[in-house]
Chain A
Amino acid sequence: MPELAPYLQRAVLEIALLAVPAGLLGSWIVLRRLAFFTHAVGTVSFPALVLAGAWGIAPQLAALAAALGFGVAQERIGRGGRLAADAATGLILVGALALGVVLASDVFESGAQVDTLLFGSLIGLTDRDLWLTALVAVVVVVLDASLRRHWLAGGFEPGSSRALGLRPVLADRLLLMGIGAAAIVALDAVGALLVTVVLVVPAATVRLITDRLGALQAGATGVALAEGLAAVWLADALNVGAGPALAVIGGAVFAAVAAATAARARAVPA
């Protein structure tokens, strides 16, 4: 069996590491209805990534700053009371995309880099990228182990969390921070626009067929790993971006599972 090229070895390792937050946090993203937030964290990083490329600073650092800025802006707009939280997120998203495009095309003339920033690439992964993803994977494991009861009880019925002796505000903030960190390290692989392909789609797919949290998390981890490896192979074979390849595979698997579960439901009426 031929040995994988070094860039493919790194890609496979990155995918394996990303499968951890995809399975553990992805399940909470789906259950807590945070898919739009996750998409937003990825997208708002786009202008920051353009700036990072132009100024030669670490893209993860720039994305982190953008994510923090997004959190503050969303809270400020939401607290004003005139705009619903999802409307505020939508406005920020559009603004971030527009700013990123203007910066990339008219200010820094980033040209072809824009595709990579928006849709990712597994070719240019560095040791630092892999170490950061590994660090986030470990942090996500620790967060999930320590806060899963808070997230479970708070997601099921938020009004009783404090009465149950839990700390919902702190737990929810840490969940959002964990999602932000996972989105940032996923940017290398899938780009600013396709973060949800890693962090949402596998869990959403498995959610169609299970009613148990443990099975959801284990299944989503496995699906994320399998879809990621298939995407790496497809991207390498067809010379396309890994992000779009993963989006196509993830979407196709989701559609197939959804169709199968719908057909089964029709065949076995409740």
Chain B
Amino acid sequence: MSGLEVRGLSGGYAAGHDVLRDVDFTAAPGEIVGILGPNGGGKTTLFRALLDELPVRRGELSLPGRPAYVPQTDQARLDFPVSAHDVALMGAFGRTPWFRRIARADREAADAALERVGLADRADTTFGALSGGQRQRVLIARALVQDAPLLLLDEPLSGVDGASAARIEAVFGELRAEGRTLLVATHDVRQAGEWDRVLCVHGRQIDFGPPAAVLSPETLRETYGDELIVLEGGGRAVGIGHHAHGH
């Protein structure tokens, strides 16, 4: 698998109004990149650009293939008549011609993906009847079925229960071992510090590099502006009182 290369990326939703500018970074296969930034700072815009869905975009992108996108769970309709298995199976829709039934291999892939996120026993449960953490795991299972070399995850650990968070982080480790590249938007500085690279954005790229080099109080202050930064002994940034999360 090849990696991700982003050079001089700028863009937004209307001409002359860049939401994000001067983004420049690379991510190798098997790397997890944490993306830190305030709400409205450009994290989702970066994902839209990588998904080729940003109306205005400049710069160069080199992607290892079509990325899989894992949205926040509140983007999904809870009243839709779909089971966890139905949602996981959506990951195979794009490769199935309209005139063909979903292949048996893809059905098995959906079963395996749910098993991997610890929800094999909830496969027939309606999506809306699952807990928040379980819903997030189902959306990750959908991305697993896509079998993409690059995964874009929008705050997958925000507001999830401890058991779900542990399972999700274990899956991240497996995907990393498989050589897939993960871009994970998060507000959790401590968590981002455990990954391979950190990208800080606030309308533009503030910094990018190994966590030890990037996660300084100065960089975090520049990233989050006036929002509260909680510091712990030695000036190390360990968390930001910015966005509620459940662990």
Contact with B along A7-37 (1 / 0, CB 8 A): 0000000000000000000000001000000
A155 & B77 in contact (Cβ 8 Å cutoff): yes
Interface residues of B in 59-117 (CB under 8 A from A): 66-69, 71, 75-77, 80-83, 86-87, 90-91, 93-96, 98-99
Query: How would you classify the secondary structure of chain A's contact residues: helix, strand, loop or mixed?
Result: helix
CB distance from B15 to the nearest CB of A (A): 16
- A152–B82 touching, CB < 8 Å: yes
Contacts of A31 in B (CB 8 A): 80-81
Is the CB of A216 closer than 8 A to any CB of chain B? yes
The answer, among B51, B68, B80, B96, for a CB contact under 8 Å with A156, is: B80
Cβ contact of A164, chosen from B52, B80, B146, cutoff 8 A? B146
User: Are B98 and A147 within 8 A (Cβ)?
Assistant: yes
Scan A130-159; emit 1 where CB is below 8 A from any B CB, else 0.
Answer: 000000000000000111011011011111
Task: Check B93–A156 contact: CB distance below 8 A.
Answer: no
Select from chain A the residue with minimum beta-carbon distance to B69: A163
Would B69 and A166 count as touching, CB distance under 8 A? Answer: no
Q: Is there an interface contact between B76 and A156, defined as CB atoms closer than 8 Å?
A: yes
**Partner-contacting stretch, out of A48-56, A207-215, A254-262:** A207-215
A166-B51 Cα distance, complex, nearest whole Å: 12
Does the CB pair B81–A213 fall under 8 Å? yes
Contact check, B90 vs A164: say whether CB atoms are below 8 A apart.
yes
Residue among B67, B77, B99 facing the most chain A CB atoms (10 A cut-off): B77
Chain A, range 183-225, C-beta contacts under 8 Å to B:
207, 210-213, 216
- CB contacts (< 8 Å) of B91 on chain A: these are 164
Which residues of chain A are near B94, meaning CB under 8 Å?
164-166
- Does chain A have a CB within 8 A of B53? yes
User: Which residues of A have CB within 8 Å of B69?
Assistant: 159-160, 163
Contact A156 B98 (CB under 8 A): no
Q: Interface size (A, Cβ < 8 Å)?
A: 25
Minimum distance in angstroms from B163 CB to a CB of chain A: 22
Q: Please tell me if A79 contacts chain B, counting CB pairs below 8 Å.
A: no
A145 to B83, CA, bound (A): 20
Cβ contact of A166, chosen from B76, B77, B93, cutoff 8 A: B93
Q: Smallest Cβ distance from A164 to chain B, in angstroms? A: 5
> Do the beta carbons of A153 and B81 come within 8 Å of each other?
no
A45 vs chain B, min Cβ distance (A)? 30
Residues of A within 8 A of B66 (CB): 163, 165
Given the interface pairs A146-B98, A156-B87, the reply to whether A164 lies near B93 with Cβ below 8 Å is yes
- DSSP majority for the B interface? mixed
Name the A residues within 8 Å of B99 (CB-CB): 145-146
- Given A145-B98, A149-B96, A152-B90: A162 touches B53 (CB 8 Å cut-off): yes
Q: How far is the CB of B178 from chain A (nearest CB, A)?
A: 19
Residues of B within 8 A of A157 (CB): 71, 75-77, 139
Say yes or no: is B26 at the interface (Cβ < 8 Å to chain A). Answer: no
Expressed in whole angstroms, the minimum distance between the Cβ of B51 and any Cβ of chain A is: 5
Contact, CB under 8 Å: A165 / B71? no
Q: In the docked arrangement, what's the CA distance between A216 and B86, Å?
A: 15
Q: Shortest CB–CB separation between residue B232 and chain A, in angstroms?
A: 36
Of A153, A156, A162, A166, most B-chain CB atoms within 10 Å: A156
CA distance A153 to B102 in the complex (A): 14
Chain A neighbourhood of B139, CB < 8 A: 157
Question: Once bound together, how far apart are the Cα atoms of A160 and B93, in whole Å?
Answer: 12
Within 8 A of B (CB), among A163-183: 163-166
Using Cβ atoms and an 8 Å threshold, which residues of chain A touch B82? 152, 156, 213
- Cross-chain contact B80 with A163 (CB below 8 angstroms): no
Given contacts A152-B90, A160-B69, A211-B81, 8 further A-B contacts (CB under 8 A): A149-B93, A162-B51, A163-B66, A165-B94, A165-B95, A166-B93, A166-B94, A210-B81
Interface residues of B (CB under 8 A from A): 51-53, 66-69, 71, 75-77, 80-83, 86-87, 90-91, 93-96, 98-99, 126-127, 139, 142, 146, 152
Listed from nearest, the 7 A-B pairs whose CB atoms lie closest are: A165-B94, A163-B69, A157-B76, A146-B98, A149-B93, A156-B80, A153-B90
